[in-house]
């Protein structure tokens, strides 16, 4: 059912029973999430982690001709410094104690007017923060008034930083607002392009996908990351949608299918040989260009095989930390290079992305699994217990694993998608071997913790 009637998107917890706390085996996890809803858990010790404000800001900041206002205390607007591109601008309403008592609507108004006058954007996004949510500021009346005055969409992003443990909720909130307030609703005629939905991919990964699409002469629009407002408006005219990371973009794809009859081409992230092949073939199948795609794959694979050492990770124990959608592709690829997968971590599992667990039939049932957004202390526990040789992660700040004796392979600034990603991942491991036993310092964690069950600080929620 379409959600567009709702004022804001539901959190992942409410919509899909998203679970952000689990520490056990693959088998126990599959069992735990097999019902119609998933029982929540609580950590009695936790580490800070990204929230939906950060994720929403990240994706919106990549839209070229829009401006962002962070409506909150000055520190929240500090997130703008995460984007170091010279041409990028943003505003902060700089709410102080007085505003938390009397309300910050006047400053929001001033910020919107400034952004409009100084930058002439095609749309203005207002990102909500804890102070505004607690204070219950009347953002909508400011928006109504200013939209009339400025004649551009002024869009509230209803983030608050404390209603969801799952930062991907931030992508859902952005999706909801884009569909509700930007996307062209009168789109009868379809145009000759497909939507390629990207929320979190780095530019390296997008470039790899774009090269594939160009090679197959598929016309596309990457949405919403790295897009423009007019491109976002046009997504209702696409002839199909494909999502690079389904657990992030499926919400948008399904809504486009339901409301605008745009077919959603189900696929998996283009990681590893099989992931990439599946991705291309699913697209090709829909577009009836199977032959062309197969000859492309054959050609690239043949070239690629020359540079891959098939037993690169023979005898090596690897712990994988990535979003659950990517775990099957990563683990399969690494296993094919000879690795023993001694555990994996993922930020959340919900009623949609749990299907990925079924794809892991090539892993032992007792493989350790840590579900947690960040929560590196639990990963420390698993790495130490499993004596992992390698820790591969898509998340930032992972030097901690070096102190537990693992060699870290980070994909933060690397391409992982497409056949290019296959080579890059392979080469990253090749280089990582040279760091074995290097850069290590003292662990920040007590030995007592590392010998305990990783489940020690997780308890079931009492409702």
Partner 1 sequence: MSEVIKEPRNGCALHGALQTVQEIKGVVPVIHANAGCGVIHYLANKGTSGGNSSYSGLSIPGTAIQERHVIFGGASRLREQIKNTIKVVKGDLYVILNSCESAMVGDDVDAMTREIVEQGEPVLDTLVAGFNGGPYYGYEHVMADIFRTIDGVKPSEKKTDPYLVNILGIIPGKDPYWQGNLEEIKRILEGIGLKVNVFFGPYGGVRDLINAKNAALTINFSRWGELPARILEEWYEIPILQRPSLPLGTEQVLDLATAVAETIHIDEERIKSFFGNEEVYENDLLLRAREDLIEYDNSQTAVLVGDEEQVIRLGRFLNDFLGKEIKAVILTDALKTDEEHVTDNQELLKEITDSIYITSDQKKIEDIIRSEKPEVIFGSSLEKRIANRLEIPVVETSYPVFEKLILNKADAGIRGTISFMEEYITVVNQYEAEKRKQLLSYVKGEKGGKLWQEQSQKRSYSKKLTLVTQSQTKESLSARM
Binding site for partner 1 (CB under 8 A): 43-54, 73-82, 84, 86-87, 89-100, 107, 110-111, 114, 118, 130-131, 134-135, 161-163, 165, 167, 373-374, 376-377, 395-397, 399-400, 441, 443-446, 448-449, 457
**Which residue, 93 or 241, has its beta carbon nearer to partner 1?**
93
Closest distance to partner 1 from the beta carbon of 308 (Å): 32
**Which residue, 168 or 223, has its beta carbon nearer to partner 1?**
168
Strand order in the sheet with 368-371: 22-25, 368-371, 340-346, 317-321, 390-393, 407-410
**Which residue, 172 or 340, has its beta carbon nearer to partner 1?**
172
Closest distance to partner 1 from the beta carbon of 114 (Å): 6
**Residue 385 DSSP code:** H
**Residue 410, Cα to own-chain centre: how many angstroms?**
16
**Which residue, 266 or 439, has its beta carbon nearer to partner 1?**
439
Burial (0-12, 13-18, 19+ Cβ within 10 Å), 274: middle
Closest distance to partner 1 from the beta carbon of 61 (Å): 11
Token pair, residue 119, equals 């930058």
Closest distance to partner 1 from the beta carbon of 201 (Å): 17
Residue 27: Cβ within 10 Å count: 14
Closest distance to partner 1 from the beta carbon of 258 (Å): 29
Closest distance to partner 1 from the beta carbon of 396 (Å): 7
**Residue 35 DSSP code:** S
Closest distance to partner 1 from the beta carbon of 355 (Å): 27
Among residues 324, 410, 406, 407, the alpha carbon closest in space to that of 360 is found at: 324
CA atoms within 13 A on the CB side of 87: 5
**Which residue, 357 or 402, has its beta carbon nearer to partner 1?**
402
Let me know the angle formed at the C-alpha of 431 by 425 and 435, rounded to the nearest 5 degrees.
Answer: 125
Closest distance to partner 1 from the beta carbon of 108 (Å): 8
**Which residue, 52 or 389, has its beta carbon nearer to partner 1?**
52
**Residue 272, Cα to own-chain centre: how many angstroms?**
18
- What whole-number distance in Å separates Cα of residue 138 and Cα of residue 123? 20
Query: Is the bond preceding 224 in cis, omega lying within 30 degrees of 0?
Result: yes
DSSP one-letter string for 276-323: HHHHHHHHHHHHT-HHHHHHHHHHHHHHHHTT--TTTTTT-EEEEES-
**Which residue, 118 or 191, has its beta carbon nearer to partner 1?**
118
Residue 373: Cβ within 10 Å count: 21
**Which residue, 61 or 329, has its beta carbon nearer to partner 1?**
61
């Amino acid at each position: 059912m379409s959600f567009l009637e709702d004022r804001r998107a539901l959190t992942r917890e409410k919509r899909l029973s998203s679970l952000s706390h689990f520490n056990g085996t693959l088998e126990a996890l599959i069992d735990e999430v097999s019902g119609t809803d998933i029982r929540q858990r609580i950590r009695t010790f936790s580490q800070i982690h990204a929230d939906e404000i950060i994720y929403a800001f990240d994706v919106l900041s990549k839209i070229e001709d829009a401006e962002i206002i962070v409506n909150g205390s000055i520190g929240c607007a500090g997130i703008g410094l995460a984007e170091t591109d010279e041409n990028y601008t943003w505003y902060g309403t700089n709410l102080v104690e007085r505003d938390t008592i009397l309300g910050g609507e006047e400053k929001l108004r001033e910020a919107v007017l400034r952004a409009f006058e100084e930058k002439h954007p095609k749309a203005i996004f207002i990102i909500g923060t804890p102070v505004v949510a607690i204070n219950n500021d009347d953002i909508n009346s400011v928006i109504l008034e200013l939209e009339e005055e400025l004649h551009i969409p002024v869009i509230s992003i209803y983030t608050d930083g404390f209603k969801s443990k799952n930062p991907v909720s931030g992508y859902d909130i952005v999706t909801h607002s884009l569909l509700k307030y930007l996307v062209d609703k009168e789109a009868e005629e379809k145009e000759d392009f497909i939507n390629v939905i990207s929320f979190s991919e780095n530019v390296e990964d997008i470039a790899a996908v774009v090269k594939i699409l160009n090679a197959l002469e598929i016309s596309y629009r990457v949405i919403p990351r790295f897009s423009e407002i007019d491109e976002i408006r046009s997504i209702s005219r696409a002839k199909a949608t494909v999502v690079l990371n389904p657990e992030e973009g499926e919400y948008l794809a399904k809504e486009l299918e339901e409301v605008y009859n745009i077919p959603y081409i189900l696929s998996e992230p283009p990681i590893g040989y099989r992931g990439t092949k599946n991705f291309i073939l699913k697209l090709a199948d829909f577009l009836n260009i199977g032959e062309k795609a197969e000859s492309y794959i054959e050609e690239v694979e043949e070239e690629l095989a020359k540079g891959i050492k098939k037993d690169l990770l023979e005898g090596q124990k690897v712990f994988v930390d990535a979003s659950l959608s990517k775990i099957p592709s990563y683990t399969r690829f690494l296993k094919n290079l000879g690795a023993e997968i001694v555990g994996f971590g993922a930020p959340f599992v919900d009623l949609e992305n749990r299907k990925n667990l079924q794809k892991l039939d090539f892993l032992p049932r007792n493989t350790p699994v840590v579900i947690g957004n960040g929560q590196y202390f639990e990963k420390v526990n698993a790495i130490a217990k499993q004596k992992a040789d390698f820790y591969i992660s898509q998340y930032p700040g992972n030097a901690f694993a070096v102190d537990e004796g693992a060699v870290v392979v980070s994909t933060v600034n690397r391409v992982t998608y497409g056949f290019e990603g296959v080579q890059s991942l392979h080469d990253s491991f090749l280089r990582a071997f040279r760091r074995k036993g290097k850069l290590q310092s003292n662990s920040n964690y007590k030995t007592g913790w590392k010998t305990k069950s990783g489940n020690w600080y997780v308890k079931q929620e009492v409702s």
